[in-house]
Amino acid sequence: MQVPIIDTHCDILSYLAKVPGAKPDSVEEIACALPLLRHGNVKMQVCAIYTDVKSGSMELATKQAFKYREMLMTHPQEVIQADADFLDYLYLNSKIGMVAAIENAAGLAEEKVPIEDAFAQLDQLIKLTGRIAYISLTHHTENRFGGGNYTTGIGLKKDGKLLLDYISGKKIAIDLSHTSDLLAEGILSHIDAQKLDIPVMASHSNFRTVWEHKRNLNHEFAQEVIRRKGLIGVNFLRAFLDDQNPERIYEHILHGFEIGAEEQMCFGSDFFYTKDFPDKSRHPFYFPIVEDASKYPGILEKLAENLSQSQLEKLAYKNCQRFFSGLWRK
């Protein structure tokens, strides 16, 4: 089924920055390599700038921003910087639109630097990449901004509030995919209390109602993303779908439609370089039906048994097209 695809999360940039000799078209190395994106009819891909909470995170984030620029410059026949005009004419462009995002604000400011450095770093990353689609304050662990998804009892910290204040009105969404529940609650409360202009999304999260995992959205936060007209990107990682049942991906997607997220559902595959991952119990990271970016047509074909053509198009690209086009044209 040749429907355009917009995907809200992959980690090709950390692969390019950290793996010697890495190339964006290496299909043997990473599941979101450019030929695989093209084969799956991906028309826009959000590329995360991912960093851990440790010394050197700001430098690594900057390196990934340069890798993003390099990818655009060295593959001009294949990729292009995505903007609102690109989204409006998605069908007509033969290239894959790219846009950067930030996964873990540790890449904006290490733990001991002044908070003003985070603002300067964000401005620099925007300058290097042209645009930042969204920011995740945390990853799995705690940082100066708040609690990650594997922490308990840690919510939104002072620096997290200051960063939210800074990005208000800058056409950048806030991502709930790696927050603790307490951090997600704090982010939403602060946005409302301060009347901040910040869209809310979950770029690569499934539903806790379908598969109990801290990385998945609970029902309350799923409903908040729906109420705020955001996005929920279905994650392809086996650990967040169901350890044993590959068909569970369809349950996550259909559950989203059942709870009222028809205008929010999209894809957030979370493809990343897995060959150096030390925990062997996580391998294979992806079931064969979703093992790389070429698999989107097969996913849509299976979903056509339960969803209308209109619903499939919303999931595949129209929800993201509307969300980002509206945000970037403000």
Q: What is the pLDDT of residues 250-286, one digit of tens each?
A: 999 999 999 999 999 999 999 999 998 888 888 999 9
What is the C-alpha to C-alpha distance for residues 13 and 143, in angstroms, rounded to an integer? 22
Mutual orientation of helices 158-167 and 181-193 as an angle, nearest 10°?
Answer: 50
Looking at residues 88-117, what average pLDDT do you find? 96
Model confidence at 91, pLDDT cuts 50, 70, 90, reads: confident
Tell me the CA distances in angstroms from 325 to 93, 205, 318, 329, one per residue in order.
Answer: 16, 22, 10, 6
- Eight-class DSSP state of 274: -
What is the C-alpha to C-alpha distance for residues 48 and 261, in angstroms, rounded to an integer? 24
Q: How confident is the model over 194-242, as pLDDT tens digits?
A: 999 999 999 999 999 999 999 999 999 999 999 999 999 999 999 999 9
Helix, strand, coil in percent for the chain, rounding step 5: 45, 15, 40
Query: Which H, E and C letters describe 51-96, residue by residue?
Result: CCCCCCHHHHHHHHHHHHHHHHHHCCCCEEECCHHHHHCHHHCCCE
Inform me whether the pLDDT recorded for 303 exceeds 60.
Answer: yes
Looking at residues 59-85, what average pLDDT do you find? 98
Q: Provide the mean pLDDT of the chain.
A: 97
Q: How confident is the model over 151-171, as pLDDT tens digits?
A: 999 999 999 999 999 999 999
Task: Work out the percent of the chain whose per-residue pLDDT is above 90.
Answer: 96
Task: Work out the percent of the chain whose per-residue pLDDT is above 70.
Answer: 100
Model confidence at 1, pLDDT cuts 50, 70, 90, reads: low
User: Lowest-confidence range among 25-39, 51-65, 205-219, 269-283?
Assistant: 269-283
- Cβ neighbours of 57 (radius 10 Å): 22
Find out if CATH 3.30.1300.10 is the number for domain 5-328: no
- SS3 call for 137: coil
Tell me the CA distances in angstroms from 111 to 57, 123, 179, 267, 282, one per residue in order.
Answer: 10, 19, 18, 32, 29
**Whether the Cβ atoms of residue 108 and residue 121 lie closer than 8 Å to each other:** yes
Give the model's pLDDT for residue 213.
97
Element (DSSP H or E) covering residue 136: strand 132-136
**Whether the Cβ atoms of residue 98 and residue 45 lie closer than 8 Å to each other:** yes
Give the model's pLDDT for residue 25.
97
Inform me whether the pLDDT recorded for 189 exceeds 80.
Answer: yes
Q: How confident is the model over 138-153, as pLDDT tens digits?
A: 999 999 999 999 999 9
Tell me the CA distances in angstroms from 198 to 103, 210, 326, 329, 330, one per residue in order.
Answer: 16, 28, 13, 14, 12
Looking at residues 296-321, what average pLDDT do you find? 98
Model confidence at 136, pLDDT cuts 50, 70, 90, reads: very high
CA atoms within 13 A on the CB side of 140: 4
Give the model's pLDDT for residue 277.
87
Give the model's pLDDT for residue 134.
99
CA angle (30, 53, 72) in 5-degree steps: 40
What is the C-alpha to C-alpha distance for residues 303 and 55, in angstroms, rounded to an integer? 44
Whether cis (ω within 30° of 0) applies to the bond prior to 24 is no
Q: Nearest-CA neighbor of 158 among 114, 107, 104?
A: 114
Give the model's pLDDT for residue 129.
98
**Whether the Cβ atoms of residue 2 and residue 41 lie closer than 8 Å to each other:** yes
Tell me the CA distances in angstroms from 164 to 81, 188, 192, one per residue in order.
Answer: 25, 10, 11
Q: Nearest-CA neighbor of 15 among 276, 292, 284?
A: 276
Looking at residues 22-33, what average pLDDT do you find? 98
CA atoms within 13 A on the CB side of 43: 22
Give the model's pLDDT for residue 177.
97
Tell me the CA distances in angstroms from 302 to 1, 21, 202, 237, one per residue in order.
Answer: 10, 37, 24, 18
What is the C-alpha to C-alpha distance for residues 330 and 316, in angstroms, rounded to an integer? 23
Give the model's pLDDT for residue 188.
98
Give the model's pLDDT for residue 145.
98
